[in-house]
Structure 1
Amino acid sequence: MRELKTRYMERLSDLYPTIASASTEIINLQAILNLPKGTEHFLTDIHGEYEAFSHVLKNGSGSVRRKIEDVFGNTMSVRDKQSLATLIYYPKAKMDMVRQTETNMEDWYRVHLYLLIEVSKRAASKYTRSKVRKALPKDFAYVIEELITEKPGVNDKDSYYNEIISTIIRIGRAEQFIVAISELIQRLIVDHLHILGDIYDRGPGPHIIMDKLMKYHSLDIQWGNHDVLWMGAAAGQKGCIANVIRICARYGNLDILEDGYGINLLPLATFALREYKDDPCTCFKLKVPERPDSQEMQMNLRIHKAISIIQFKVEGQIIRRRKSFGLENRALLHRIDYEKGTILLDGKEYQLLDTNFPTVDPSDPYALTEEEEEIMERLENAFTGCEKLQEHMRLLLSKGSLYKVYNNNLLYHGCVPLTKDGEMRETEVYGKKYRGKALYDALETYVRKGFFALDEKERTEGKDIMWYIWLHPDSPLFGKDKMATFERYFLAEKETHGEKKNAYYSMLEDEKVVNGILREFGLDPEEAHIINGHVPVKKKDGESPIKCGGKVMVIDGGFSRAYQKQTGIAGYTLIDNSYGLLLVAHEPFESEEAAIEKESDIHSELMVVKRVVKRRLVGDTDTGRILKEQVQDLERLLEAYRNGEITEKL
């Protein structure tokens, strides 16, 4: 052990070869520990709503407005503060609009440059100069650094700073500078972003959201069940591929696949139009406001039905191949009486709403036809060979996980599966039993094997686990007794549509249960919180996102338009800053154009979940703990230099 410590000190001395360099780094780290804690921003269940996501990202769930309020307070009117915030969110579009009415743009530039500099100074104040410098836009880095590090009351430099502003305007660079400093404010206002899952499905732009996240300065992602479904599809798992296409078809979003990812759906479309040419496909109505008689709608209806039938076949094959999953009750095609048009479920016979199954062989209902087989092979190759999709999946794998413990918060998308008595539910995965944190860890390991394992058997197990995570009753990302996709398409009886939630969701007010979950993940129940997505909070019915006296926050409030009628709002987001926890309820986002023209914001209600007595510093965070360990190591290095154990490298 002593030899190992000596070797570590030697390696550390390569980085800090002298007493002076080690001492300087200790001073630097100690200073950072005493800066205010950076702002964390939590979003969940975005479901492809890229315009609303982009706006919330730009405004930091009201963080920009709060910063403007801190700087200008009562010295600026509410309307002017609103206008300045809009400029920060959408600088190019806002200036295009201003030019149409403003008679003296030079004065307007001058006034707003000074306003933006003041806001950026405040936004940069909680960071080291080095960190701010790294965030500066390359084209204006030196100039912005000069302006935002100006010290008040230094009169002999007033003309210097004024001349910088005047020159920026005179040489025609004011608009580019305003864009640069606005984007800097957006960048500094949030130190770290947490996405609690379900980036994909329902909305029209998950690929656009992923492109934005690829460029984001600091983030982590807790996978949602819809994200893992897309991961499985990208890995080539056919059950996941069929589900992804079915959901895109159902929500009128096939262009995500075709235009966003370049996946060719023509063979599927050709097959669907031929096989279901005279079928009205009334059970497969799309969740879009499009004209029902349009040619595109009619084609999408048939694609929707064709891929659904393929999905039920492929899933039946998986269920029979993976008997250990215990999903025999979800293989339903062999339970159909094709002559009578009925199905037998739990000992009761139900009449099917749709009895046209031209591609199903009643003697072998899970067998794909030759053409279906070929279509699925081509789709598998398209998904696994799409570089953009694979790039997005690499982001999910490198920045993502099934759960995360961060600054005393436990983050996950779905639930911790529980028994009806509130105990951790034991689940068998490939012959081994897990529960609680161990279940999360095991499932995540298998997901990664689905992409990276060299052994084909292990890789296939990993791929199948992604499908398992999507719909299994014991999956922490699903958390219901069944996924009633077939019943909701084919049966009128509502009793067959039910998906009973895991006991977890009825126990979020039970402090004993919540404390047990926090301890399971190594957290102190007196200080920690669970932050959770997945199940929309129905605010219109009086439901609160804050559970168990503030220990649990369920922040899915309906970011997706598909849920907003149920929830009554357009989603919750959470801010964790140096003063405490703030929960923000959002109004529906109309459009980017409306946000600029009306200078409106979409956050409507702010709830203080927790306010700290003493402002939290970097030293109070996980990063602070790491920095303190580095300080201790450097102090040991200083001691080694001074007592002659290690020689300075002068």
Structure 2
Amino acid sequence: MEKNHLHYLEQLSEQYPTISKASAEIINLQAILNLPKGTEHFLSDIHGEYEAFSHVLKNGSGAVRKKIDDVFGRSLSEADKAVLATIIYYPREKIELVKKTEEDMDSWYKVTLYRLIEVCKTVSSKYTRSKVRKMLPPDFAYIIEELITEKPEVLNKEAYYDAIVDTIVNLGQTEEFILELATLIQHLAVDHLHIIGDIYDRGPGAHLIMDRLMKYHSLDIQWGNHDIIWMGAAVGQLACIATVIRNSIRYDNLDMIEEGYGINMLPLATFAMSTYADDPCDIFVFKQLGDATRTVSESSLIRKMHKAISIIRFKLEGQLIKKWPEYGMQDRLLLEKIDYEHGTIELDGEVYPLRDCNFPTVDPENPYQLTEEELAVMMRFRSSFLHCDKLQKHMRLMLKKGNMYKVYNGNLLYHGSVPLNEDGTFRKVNIYGTEYWGRELFDVLESYVRKAFFSTDMKEKEKGADLMWYIWTAPYSPLYGRKKMATFERYYIDCPDTWVEPKNCYYELINQPQIAEMILHEFGLYGKNIHIINGHVPVHRLKGESPVKCDGKVIIIDGGFSRTYRKRTGIAGYTLIFNSYGLTLTAHDPFESAETAVKDGVDIVSRREAVELVDRRILVGDTDVGKRMKERIRDLRDLISAYQEGALPELESSNYIVY
């Protein structure tokens, strides 16, 4: 036996000091390997739509309702099954509603408890008792375990369970017990959650989504470009801060910044009222994409703030492009292309009139320099973002659970794209003087993101912070993947042709099987039943576009969670379920409200768009976790051999030191 391996076994022996303990662990692991794999749930491009996100999370994209159907089949009516599903999704709210009409609550409690227990038995059946035990609520752990565990030694099971349920009801603990059971069912129905990017922007509840994810039992996050720009803001990068504020105003979400994160907008409001006092700030140029009702004066102030932060953003972006010429974005130095005297701009040899010609803070000789007042506003914001405890906690979750990409159980997850050349080869991208492509490009970008938060080298920290703006908007960023971000053109040029943001050729080439396989191989995936799963670009279902591409190797699950996309996509988002039977892609209709769901038992209407079933049921042993378990079993077998051959001494219980 090799010396290094023997040294490792010595360490392992501290955990398994005898042959019997090592054997017991092998038996335990071998049993787990033969269980069905847990259900994975994939969501993408949530964009702050908290209520819809929360509901999809609760119902597991139909996984919970399927379990109810499995348990009760035709023994319950569709109406009763809908009520039971609503109790699982919104237990407290549904109970309060039932109380208003139900005369015999004790009987209702008992019936509901029995039904929930049956569902809980089914969803827990694919897990070991040990894993289920870890997920049980502390206050009711013993009772729930008794109720969901078969007890062959109990002769009169009905009387045994009746006694437990009666005691719960008589002690007045039913509502809390139902609440805990409902939460447990949700957790057991979905073993692991994947968020494929873009939690932030557009919708009003990104901070609430992050609060929810902070408590979620098992998840990973692939960063989207809208997430990265918030991460940049959290480390104090000024262009990132200006961008997230501008986005929040544009999409009518200032409440999220002010109330959700406690960041005061007064410095910007004061500056905007002073600087743009006589500027009407054209309602069609600086409009908000929301339906909030405001007074005339409120709308006027918001437009002035919108214009003020937009100009600051364009200046700060120009500073970064000049600071880092290797970003290769000189064509986006737009403020210096303006003819301020004639109110025009020249782009690609064409001269366009500007819709707004009032630039009181722009010096044509030095257009990217902030005025003293603009700089003061941004430094106030920088301090607020750096010292916002809630935002910093959310970003720590992004760092702890997040990555640029993830390889998980045969699937490659990333938000946007892999930059490609037109001939299908990987695009080489210059990152601070060195060219990277393929997987290495993702890796180096992630390393710089982490440097922005953790590096003690101030230059590297600064490069990391600045690079987050690049990742947000650059043509060859894997998280953006378009030639330009045409924010300026949409504001100032009344020509839709200039608003077009051409996509990287990845989005055409990915339909070719050899390209998909090349990318999968680059990230270490080979064989059958492997997939690329990403979002970022909404699938236009109304135009007949399919989210499943390249003979099923590529699945794009951005179907328009954000309200602003729904008219174009025709749905309210795609989600994906990967369980022991295979993959199921689901399209969702818009979610009305939690109140309607509770009152009328209305679930999100979901339709299976595509299904990929496997030849045999997938077991834990077929997963990444299972592979690690098999390695553990091999090590434990080696440990047992070392004990039996005398290479290591077996420690009997009498040898333990008791402190």
Deviations, residues 183-204 of structure 1 (Å, cap 9, x unaligned)? 1101110000000000000000
1:639 to 638, 641, 646: 641
1:482 to 481, 484, 502: 484
Answer yes or no: is 1:473 the counterpart of 2:469: no
1:412: Cα distance to partner?
0.4
1:298: Cα distance to partner?
2.2
Aligned to 2:74: 74
Cα distance in 2 for residues equivalent to 1:153 and 1:82: 35
Residue correspondence of structure 1 range 384-463 to structure 2 within 5 A? 384-463=386-465
Aligned to 2:200: 200
Query: TM-score w.r.t. structure 2 length?
Result: 0.97
Deviations, residues 287-329 of structure 1 (Å, cap 9, x unaligned)? 0113464433222211111000000111111111111111111
| Aligned AA (1:348) | E
CA contact (8 A) 2:62 2:606 kept: no
CA contact (8 A) 1:61 1:603 kept: no
Aligned to 1:314: 316
1:428: Cα distance to partner?
1.0
> What RMSD, in angstroms, separates the aligned Cα atoms of the two structures?
1.2
CA contact (8 A) 1:192 1:218 kept: yes
Structure 1 portions without partners, runs of 5+ = none
Query: TM-score w.r.t. structure 1 length?
Result: 0.99
Residue correspondence of structure 1 range 118-133 to structure 2 within 5 A? 118-133=118-133
Q: The residue matched to 2:586 in structure 1 has which SS?
A: strand
Aligned to 2:230: 230
Aligned to 1:583: 585
1:152: Cα distance to partner?
7.1
Cα distance in 1 for residues equivalent to 2:412 and 2:327: 28
Answer yes or no: is 1:337 the counterpart of 2:330: no
CA contact (8 A) 1:515 1:525 kept: no
Cα distance in 2 for residues equivalent to 1:81 and 1:549: 36
| Aligned AA (1:256) | M
Cα distance in 1 for residues equivalent to 2:492 and 2:88: 50
Cα distance in 2 for residues equivalent to 1:349 and 1:343: 6
Q: The residue matched to 1:284 in structure 2 has which SS?
A: coil
Residue correspondence of structure 1 range 44-63 to structure 2 within 5 A? 44-63=44-63
1:175: Cα distance to partner?
1.1
1:156: Cα distance to partner?
2.7
CA contact (8 A) 2:287 2:303 kept: yes
| Aligned AA (1:38) | G
Q: The residue matched to 2:156 in structure 1 has which SS?
A: helix
Aligned to 1:547: 549
Aligned to 2:190: 190
1:341: Cα distance to partner?
0.6
| Aligned AA (1:133) | R
Deviations, residues 564-622 of structure 1 (Å, cap 9, x unaligned)? 11100000000000001001100101110011112111142013421012111000000
Residue correspondence of structure 1 range 526-605 to structure 2 within 5 A? 526-605=528-607
Aligned to 1:38: 38
- Higher mean displacement: 633-642 or 252-261: 252-261
1:116: Cα distance to partner?
0.3
| Aligned AA (1:277) | A
- Pair 163,292 (structure 1): closer, same or farther in 2 beyond 3 Å: closer
1:432: Cα distance to partner?
0.6
Answer yes or no: is 1:65 the counterpart of 2:65: yes
Cα distance in 2 for residues equivalent to 1:525 and 1:11: 36
CA contact (8 A) 1:229 1:240 kept: yes
Q: The residue matched to 1:543 in structure 2 has which SS?
A: coil
Cα distance in 2 for residues equivalent to 1:507 and 1:374: 47
CA contact (8 A) 2:571 2:589 kept: yes
Residue correspondence of structure 1 range 237-276 to structure 2 within 5 A? 237-276=237-276
Structure 2 portions without partners, runs of 5+ = 653-659
Q: The residue matched to 1:424 in structure 2 has which SS?
A: coil
- Higher mean displacement: 39-48 or 369-378: 369-378
- Pair 468,75 (structure 1): closer, same or farther in 2 beyond 3 Å: same
Answer yes or no: is 1:349 the counterpart of 2:351: yes
Residue correspondence of structure 1 range 358-397 to structure 2 within 5 A? 358-397=360-399
Aligned length: 650
Aligned to 2:25: 25
1:155: Cα distance to partner?
3.2
1:375: Cα distance to partner?
1.0
Aligned to 1:298: 300
- Pair 99,153 (structure 1): closer, same or farther in 2 beyond 3 Å: farther
Q: The residue matched to 1:75 in structure 2 has which SS?
A: coil
1:525: Cα distance to partner?
5.1
- Higher mean displacement: 602-611 or 347-356: 602-611
| Aligned AA (2:181) | I
Cα distance in 2 for residues equivalent to 1:297 and 1:185: 46
1:494: Cα distance to partner?
1.2
Q: The residue matched to 2:27 in structure 1 has which SS?
A: helix
Residue correspondence of structure 1 range 146-157 to structure 2 within 5 A? 146-151=146-151, 154-157=154-157
CA contact (8 A) 2:71 2:119 kept: yes
Q: The residue matched to 1:155 in structure 2 has which SS?
A: coil
Answer yes or no: is 1:503 the counterpart of 2:477: no
Q: The residue matched to 1:74 in structure 2 has which SS?
A: coil
Cα distance in 2 for residues equivalent to 1:98 and 1:580: 38
Q: Percent identity between the aligned chains?
A: 60
Deviations, residues 500-529 of structure 1 (Å, cap 9, x unaligned)? 000011122211111111111111153310
Cα distance in 1 for residues equivalent to 2:402 and 2:138: 29
1:447: Cα distance to partner?
0.8
Deviations, residues 90-144 of structure 1 (Å, cap 9, x unaligned)? 0011111111111111111111110000000001100010110111111111111
Q: The residue matched to 1:76 in structure 2 has which SS?
A: coil
Cα distance in 1 for residues equivalent to 2:444 and 2:352: 39
Aligned to 2:620: 618
Deviations, residues 152-194 of structure 1 (Å, cap 9, x unaligned)? 7943343221111011111111111111111110111000000
| Aligned AA (1:637) | L
Q: The residue matched to 2:74 in structure 1 has which SS?
A: helix
1:224: Cα distance to partner?
0.2
